[in-house]
């Protein structure tokens, strides 16, 4: 009986390996926001996230992505005289992720993706350093273009995030925790990420 169970287990493992596959891909996002409450503030955001992953079966996949993000905020104070200041933040990091596909309709696949991100960055105009750790959940839509090529879109909306800012001496300037839905980000174009994936 034990030998039979071991044989069945090995057969199932072999079937799982045969049905699994590696893939590579990436996504980009870009968005702008303009607010005029008080001061005139214009913000632009860009991100690029190449990734590699492993498809275990039709439902589950996991992988690792490398992230680069750039944000630029230009503020104009015009109470008495126009005074413009600009702040540019560059960040990079890694983010392991796990995705579970909930449903399939034709060539479309709908899933949820959980990501644990660790990011480090520096403000261009000063010596301020930023560290960020976050756990996010995003809905994902995939579309099979061919047998190997897939197009994907996902939206970063729900997250638990910690961000710390330090000066050049290592003194903590600020620490913030965020949890829940970012209402401002949900309806901005920068929250949408579009990419392509190649499955071997």
Q: How confident is the model at residue 23 (pLDDT cuts 50, 70, 90)?
A: very high
Instruction: Give the list of residues 6+ apart from residue 139 with CB closer than 8 angstroms, or none.
Output: 110, 111, 112, 113, 154, 155, 157
Is 158 within 8 Å of 191 (Cβ atoms)? no
Distances (CA, A) of 168 to 70, 128, 176: 20, 6, 19
Q: Which DSSP category does 190 fall into?
A: G
**Hey, what CATH class is 22-27+47-68+89-199 in?**
mainly beta
The reported pTM is: 0.76
Whole-number pLDDT of residue 16:
37
Helix spans in the chain (H) = 2-19, 183-186
In which band, very low, low, confident or very high, does the pLDDT at 24 lie, cut at 50, 70 and 90?
very high
Its sign, for the CA torsion 9, 19, 154, 176, is: positive
Q: Which residues are bridge partners to 113 per DSSP?
A: 99, 138
């Amino acid at each position: 009986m034990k030998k039979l169970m071991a044989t069945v287990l090995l057969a199932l493992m072999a079937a799982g390996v045969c049905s699994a596959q590696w893939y590579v891909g990436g996504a980009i996002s870009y968005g702008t926001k303009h607010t005029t409450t008080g001061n005139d503030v214009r913000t632009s955001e860009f991100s690029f996230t190449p990734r590699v992953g492993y498809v275990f079966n039709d439902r589950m996949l996991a992988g690792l992505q490398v992230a680069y993000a750039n944000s630029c905020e230009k503020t104009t104070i015009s109470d008495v005289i126009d005074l413009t200041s600009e702040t540019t933040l560059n960040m990079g990091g890694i983010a392991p992720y796990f995705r579970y596909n909930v449903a399939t309709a034709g060539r479309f696949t709908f899933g949820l993706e959980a990501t644990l991100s660790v990011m480090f960055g520096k403000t261009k105009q000063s010596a301020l350093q930023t560290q960020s750790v976050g756990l996010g959940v995003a809905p994902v839509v995939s579309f099979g273009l061919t047998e190997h090529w897939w197009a994907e879109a996902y939206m970063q909306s729900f997250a638990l995030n910690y961000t710390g800012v330090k000066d050049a001496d290592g003194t903590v300037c600020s620490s913030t925790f965020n949890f829940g839905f970012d209402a401002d980000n949900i309806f901005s174009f920068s929250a949408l990420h579009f990419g392509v994936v190649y499955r071997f």
